[in-house]
Amino acid sequence: MIQPKNIVPVLFSLALYFSGVLVFFTPIPLVFLLLKNQKKIFWVSQGLILLGLMILYFFGVPWLQTIYAANPWMGWLVIVPGIELSGFVSQNSIAVYGLFYYLFWVACAVVLSRAYLLKDGWFRIFYKGILGSALAAILIFCALGYVNKVDPIHFLQSFFQTVIRDFVATQEAGPLSLEQKTWLKQYEGDLINLFVLLTPSFLFSSILFLYILNFTFAKRFLFSIKPEVLLARGNTWQAPFLWVWGVIFFLALFLIHIFYLSNPILKAISLNGLLITAVVYFWQGIAIVSYFFQTKALGSFMRLMGYVLFFIFFEVLGPGLILFGFADAWLNIRKRIVPFSPKS
């Protein structure tokens, strides 16, 4: 018999999905359910939810769009993911996007539930999850472009053009100076092409960030039902040395593009590869800093202030963290950190 307390995580996750900003935490209640070994409830509930979402997206969204057009404020009460794309794609495409967007969060929950039960190998599961999600997103995106007879590249260009122009419009009385606004308008085309070029690495970075965010945030709530999750430490992982060769390979491709071939495919592969490796080493640098804070027994407030300073001075410290993580491949910095020992 299904107990009501096992349905609460499912409903809470669904509420997060429609919450807007808090949608990023949609997987956490589902991870809670999986770690309680309620897999049957998990899969049955997700099947029913997908059926309900199909009805909502294919039949309810047109009705909601009419209501939102007449009463814009109501759009803040029920935020349906994907409805903001109505000006770019067809109704069926919005439905497909919404369904696969929810499936992405379900996949995140499955990946996280497995990652929590590993001590140091959880990051390898993240790689597999990211690769699967990214490939699925690319295939769905291309399929939707084919069905709607829209070139995927042209769609991305139109999307980023709208984003840039809307951003400039919102900054008319904002903090941007006249020179900055003029620069954005002057180099709009170059920025759009750059954003389109780097879309794969943006996708990788976003999924990795969401995994790490949920992995770190949820641990405080999950250890009560599964103490083993505390063994999956987020600050002890290290990227395999193979990533160093990846940096060398992508850097070589970029130099070949610059000095010899000037090939757009080489440019796309090398820049995306370099950005992805930079993001991985950035998070490795963050892990080293976190390990230092923990080893030196710094209090929660001091740790928080340390991370706030990293955020404030990100332009300066960000590249340093990347180099820090990259150097860790040789130096194994965490083994050199002396644990804090209070004086007696």
End-to-end distance of the chain based on CA atoms, in angstroms?
A: 57
Residue 171 confidence class, pLDDT cut points 50, 70, 90: low
- Asked if 60 and 192 sit in the same domain, the reply is yes
With 60 as the cut, is the pLDDT of residue 175 above it? yes
Identify whether the C-beta of residue 115 lies closer than 8 Å to the C-beta of residue 232: yes
Residue 14 reports pLDDT greater than 80 = yes
Question: How many Cα neighbours within 13 Å face the side chain of 1?
Answer: 2
Question: Taking a C-beta distance cutoff of 8 angstroms, is the pair 341, 300 a contact?
Answer: no
63 and 174 inside one domain: yes
Nearest C-alpha neighbor of 26 from the set 96, 79, 77, 92: 79
Domain holding 332, by residue range, is 235-344
Same domain membership, residue 230 and residue 272: no
Note whether 201 and 272 are within 8 A (CB): yes
- 187, 215, 234 — which closes off a domain? 234
The total number of structural domains that make up the chain: 2
Angle made by CA atoms 214, 194, 85, in degrees to the nearest 5: 60
pLDDT in tens, 111-154: 988 888 776 667 778 888 888 888 888 877 777 777 667 777 88
Residues 57 and 106 in one domain: yes
147 shares its domain with 256:
no
Q: Which two tokens stand for residue 124?
A: 């390898």
Task: Clarify whether residues 195 and 288 are in a common domain.
Answer: no
CA distance 91 to 145: 13
Residues 93 and 188 in one domain: yes
Q: Are residues 245 and 124 in the same domain?
A: no
Q: Rounded distance, CA 317 to CA 323, Å?
A: 10
- Compare 330 and 139 and report the one with higher pLDDT: 330
Check whether residue 217 and residue 265 sit in a common domain.
no
Per-residue pLDDT, 344: 41
Residue where one domain finishes, among candidates 180, 215, 234: 234
Residue pair 285/329 in contact by the 8 Å Cβ criterion: no
Same domain, 267 and 142: no
Q: Given 218, 234, 250, which residue is the final one in a domain?
A: 234
For the stretch 186-195, pLDDT in tens is: 888 888 888 8
Q: What percent of the chain has pLDDT over 70?
A: 86
Nearest of 226, 216, 221 to residue 286 by alpha carbon: 216
Amino acid identity for residue 220 in this structure? R
The verdict on 154 and 272 lying in the same domain is: no
167 and 90 within one domain? yes
Phi first, then psi, for residue 26 (nearest 5°) are -55, -40
For the chain, give the mean pLDDT.
82
Q: Is the pLDDT of residue 272 over 90?
A: yes
